[in-house]
């Protein structure tokens, strides 16, 4: 009797890459009062959770840098927690019109950034808007109110 050895069965594994998506909206009430802050100072949103991590939006009523600080406002994204490894995030800031919907006028570019593994308050720029343009846009700034989404 002859014994035949069968070839070994191949093994298999699968890698499944997933992403998580979400939106957070920041409402800034009292727009002209926020302009009393000193250049370089900012206001932070409450923490919000997205993709399993905590973030905050930083709103600078006078730009992030002191140079030309009265020309624009800006929004930054900040990781609000310490993380054990790098976290890669894709985001885009935009202003929300008073009627909702996708803004055509005040929207930043999509950005992909990696937050460092050592939390040190790093912020990533998201959107800079001319104050003059904003203040002449009642669709986005009304009753001392503006809304930004990320």
Number of domains in the chain: 1
Contact call for residues 48 and 54 (beta carbons, < 8 A): yes
Q: Which residue has the tokens 């997933």?
A: 18
- Residue 2 falls inside a structural domain: no
Model confidence, pTM:
0.81
Domain, as residue range, for 109: 25-149
Q: Phi, psi (5° rounding) for residue 131?
A: -60, -40
C-beta neighbour count of 64 within 10 angstroms: 19
Q: Quick one: pLDDT band at residue 120, thresholds 50, 70, 90?
A: low
What pLDDT does 121 receive? 58
Q: How confident is the model at residue 58 (pLDDT cuts 50, 70, 90)?
A: very high
Region 15-44 average pLDDT: 90
Q: Is residue 64 part of a domain?
A: yes
Q: Residue 51's Cα: distance from chain center in Å?
A: 12
Model confidence at 131: pLDDT above 60: yes
């Amino acid at each position: 009797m002859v014994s035949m050895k069968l070839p070994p069965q191949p093994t298999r594994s699968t890698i499944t890459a997933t992403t998580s998506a979400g939106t957070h909206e920041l409402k800034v009430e009292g727009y002209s009062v926020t302009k009393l802050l000193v250049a370089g100072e900012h206001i932070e949103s409450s923490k919000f959770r997205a993709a399993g991590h905590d973030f905050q939006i930083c709103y600078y009523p006078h730009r992030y840098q002191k140079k030309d600080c009265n020309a624009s406002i800006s929004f930054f994204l900040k990781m609000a927690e310490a993380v054990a490894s790098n976290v890669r995030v894709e985001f885009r800031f935009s202003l929300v019109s008073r009627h909702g919907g996708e803004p055509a006028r005040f929207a930043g570019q999509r950005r992909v950034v990696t937050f460092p593994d050592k939390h040190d308050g790093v912020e990533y720029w998201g959107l800079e808007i001319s104050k003059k343009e904003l203040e002449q846009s009642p669709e986005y700034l009304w009753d001392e109110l503006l809304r930004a989404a990320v």
